[in-house]
Amino acid sequence: MADSKKILITGTAGFIGFHLADRLLKEGFEVFGIDAVNSYYDVNLKLDRLRQHGIQVNGAESKNAINSTIFDSYKFYHLSIEDWPAVESIFNCEKPYAVVNLAAQAGVRYSLTHPREYITSNIDGFLNILEGCRHYDVKHLIYASSSSVYGLNTQLPFSVNDSVDHPISLYAATKKSNELMAHTYSYLYNVPTTGLRFFTVYGPWGRPDMALFLFVKSILDDKPIQLFNGGDMMRDFTYIDDIVESISRLVGKPPKKTDNKASIKNPSTSSAPYQVFNIGNNNPIKLLEFIKEIEYAIGRKAKIDLYPMQPGDVRATHADVRSLIEYIGYMPNTSISIGVQNFVKWYRNYYKGQ
């Protein structure tokens, strides 16, 4: 029987993966991490995340485990999830109880100019994870979807019961594809899968291409912030600790088969062991208000340049998280002011002198 404390996390050099690994390691889990450490954004930031856990990655691609010098229960594999022989060898060797797939090519705007990278990582790579779970008796696969799947939906808040048939970026299309692929494997091979539609995750060690990181950097560098759609944008920012808490509670709660047939009225559930949740703060804020919180945390006013709406962007996001609360007994609740202050403190410490 699989050891319920053995967890495979893909994307552990990434923002969410780093924080989740940290949480589960401190809770006594045995963690196996995978990451390609690609150059989509600053590689040094990714390597520094790994160093926080005692992982030193050299410049060469390595398929062998790198053992942590801090946590005896942490092994890291420097490889891409698109590499099926390497991925399969990890499943075969480690035999994880659960898998959390966070590795993916991120970014809506980047998908407009680099479409093939999204198919390779988000489709081909995810297929390898599904195959590993299928053939090695994984008890629960949790995977990252995205609020971007709601696409042209305009009714707020976004509900997991809504149709998501009109994505407006290839990134969003690959995330919806992941949900469809997961359902297929849940139905055909009885792989329990849980999809998580993340809503604008932020916090310390965050991604440099995300709004908070860009805004803080611009203000500290005395450069103007770029605001699109004339500043008329609203986002359901979700603090990283709330994301990690939710995933931690979900790991041991795989979905089960039910007698209910999948319905067009409720596409987030199925007769197969499959489910999808929104993870958001359920408290959206206008970007101009968000910038005010940043100004307060930094103690400096922002310069703002207004631009038209960008292709692939949506004007507003707002997560309906009632089904998540009911399932795990927890609601993301970190206030914007606390979350922003925590990020600014980390940023100034990481980039000394700012």
**Residues classed as catalytic:** 171
Question: Residue 200 is which amino acid?
Answer: T
Determine the Cα–Cα distance for residues 78 and 96; give it in Å rounded to an integer: 17
Q: What is the largest CA-CA distance in the chain?
A: 60
Determine the Cα–Cα distance for residues 112 and 116; give it in Å rounded to an integer: 10
Determine the Cα–Cα distance for residues 9 and 48; give it in Å rounded to an integer: 18
Those residues with Cβ within 8 angstroms of residue 76's Cβ, 6 or more apart along the chain or in another chain? 12, 32, 33, 34, 35, 50, 53, 55, 57, 65, 66, 67, 68
Cα distances (Å, whole numbers) of residue 316 to 99, 284, 293: 31, 8, 19
Measured N-to-C along each axis, helices 336-350 and 211-220 cross at an angle, to the nearest 10 degrees, of 60
Residue 195 is encoded by which pair of tokens? 């999809």
Q: 187-201 in b/e burial notation, b at 16+ Cβ within 10 A? A: beeebbbbbbbbbbb
Cβ neighbours around 320 below 10 Å, total: 17
Place of tokens 């605001």: 227
Determine the Cα–Cα distance for residues 123 and 179; give it in Å rounded to an integer: 11
